[in-house]
Amino acid sequence: MNNRPSLTPLVESLPATVPFVGPETQERNRGRPFRARIGANESGFGPSPRVIEAIRNAAPDVWMYGDPENHELRAALAQHHGVAPENIAIGEGIDALLGLIVRMYIEPGAPVVVSLGGYPTFNFHVAGFGGRFVNVPYDGDRENLQGLLEATISENAPLVYLANPDNPMATWWDAADVTRFIEALPETTMLILDEAYCEFAPTSAIPPIDVSRPNVLRMRTFSKAYGMAGMRCGYAIGEASAIAPFDKIRNHFGMTRLTQVAALEALRDQPYLQSVVDQVAAARDRIGRIAASHGLTTLPSATNFVALDCGADGTFAMRVLQELGHRDVFVRKPMGPHHDRCIRVSVGPEAEMDLFESAFAEALEAARKG
């Protein structure tokens, strides 16, 4: 006899897992810290000094809840993107917003079109709400736009997910290609266009903001280029009728007062943002040179991380990752078919790149010795 409350059959059926094992968990298991934290696509360059000062000044007010309407931040984001506040929904990072979107559009058994080996946190939400995955293999190292479109039409899917630039491969499609994809989608399908890394991408990769289509939600974040992953602030841009339902189910007090203050100040300091983008580009180039010095290649990147092709199969790439860990350098790797030949290295300040360069040479030699 079961003498405890029962989980729903759906939750009972799910594996006891999370999308990522955090570096803190790994450090506890290892018994020592990492020297280089370049695996989670955070910004080691940190936020604008103005953000730190704004947080310091606002700290005495933490006894108050944050504004549940996010009024000032929504207004500032709307002005920044040339839309109305009604076109902006704010949440606890893109990840939380993804969960809300799946909840809004997916019932148990409903098809959701995703790229095989793509961003696992979205899949985590789909599984949690009982969606049925329709997996589309990549087109080489890019998400397969034609394959995603065909699967969406054939399945009459209510939801399709596309990351541009992509995670975990850092590749991208040009804006014209993305626009054609959007125009070809059924009007009854909601597209999640995840643009978490858009600030690092070439201008040609990002379509102009268009809030006239009710079946597109574009996702942005303060976690990457703005250097505020620990504050958890993301937002969706979309047509007003597509944004309004967020208010029905969102956590209205989910955005802390300090997070709202920090994000508002970060948005105001665009010169600092550009300085980070420039440093990221330089660090990406350096990772490419490090790989080349060992006869290896990197994939072109439009993000703050680089997929480094280890030159063999997934088993070998995993050995390289593990050897880097033994040398206190935290990186991650793609796990999808063909992509698992790579490790994924987040860019960082020069000191962390120095540590990676030294450790990578040793890790690669150790992995080759097997």
Q: What is the pLDDT of residues 133-145, one digit of tens each?
A: 999 999 999 999 9
pLDDT at residue 19 is higher than 80: no
- The arithmetic mean of pLDDT across residues 140-156, rounded, is 98
Nearest to 121 by CA among 17, 230, 25, 217: 17
Fold type of domain 49-268: Aspartate Aminotransferase; domain 2 (3.40.640)
- The arithmetic mean of pLDDT across residues 72-97, rounded, is 98
- The arithmetic mean of pLDDT across residues 11-17, rounded, is 88
The C-alpha atoms of residue 45 and residue 219 are separated, in whole angstroms, by 22
Q: Tokens representing 201?
A: 């991408």
Task: Tell me the domain boundaries of the chain.
Answer: 20-46+271-369, 49-268
Nearest to 141 by CA among 112, 113, 167: 167
Q: Tokens representing 79?
A: 């002005």
Tokens 């999808």 sit at which residue?
Answer: 336
Residues 6+ apart with CB under 8 A from 325: 26, 30, 34
- The arithmetic mean of pLDDT across residues 49-54, rounded, is 98
- The arithmetic mean of pLDDT across residues 221-245, rounded, is 98
Amino acid at 318: M
The per-residue pLDDT for range 109-129, each reduced to its tens digit, is 999 999 999 999 999 999 999
35, burial (CB in 10 Å: exposed 0-12, middle 13-18, buried 19+): middle
Supply the pLDDT for residue 18: 75
- The arithmetic mean of pLDDT across residues 337-351, rounded, is 97
pLDDT at residue 23 is higher than 90: yes
DSSP assigned state of 237: E
Q: Taking the mean position of all CA atoms in its chain, how far away is CA 316?
A: 26
Supply the pLDDT for residue 289: 98
Supply the pLDDT for residue 20: 81
Supply the pLDDT for residue 1: 54
Class of domain 20-46+271-369 as given by CATH:
alpha beta
Supply the pLDDT for residue 370: 81
Supply the pLDDT for residue 268: 98
The C-alpha atoms of residue 297 and residue 288 are separated, in whole angstroms, by 7
- The arithmetic mean of pLDDT across residues 320-333, rounded, is 97
Angle, helices 120-128/93-105, rounded to nearest 10 degrees: 40
Supply the pLDDT for residue 45: 97
165, burial (CB in 10 Å: exposed 0-12, middle 13-18, buried 19+): buried
Band (pLDDT 50/70/90 cuts) for residue 3 is confident
Supply the pLDDT for residue 130: 96
In angstroms, the first-to-last Cα distance of the chain is 51
- In our burial notation (b when 16+ CB lie closer than 10 A, e otherwise), range 146-163 reads ebbbebbeebebbbbbbb
Residue 345, beta-bridge partner list:
306
Amino acid at 178: V
20-46+271-369 shares its CATH topology with 49-268: no
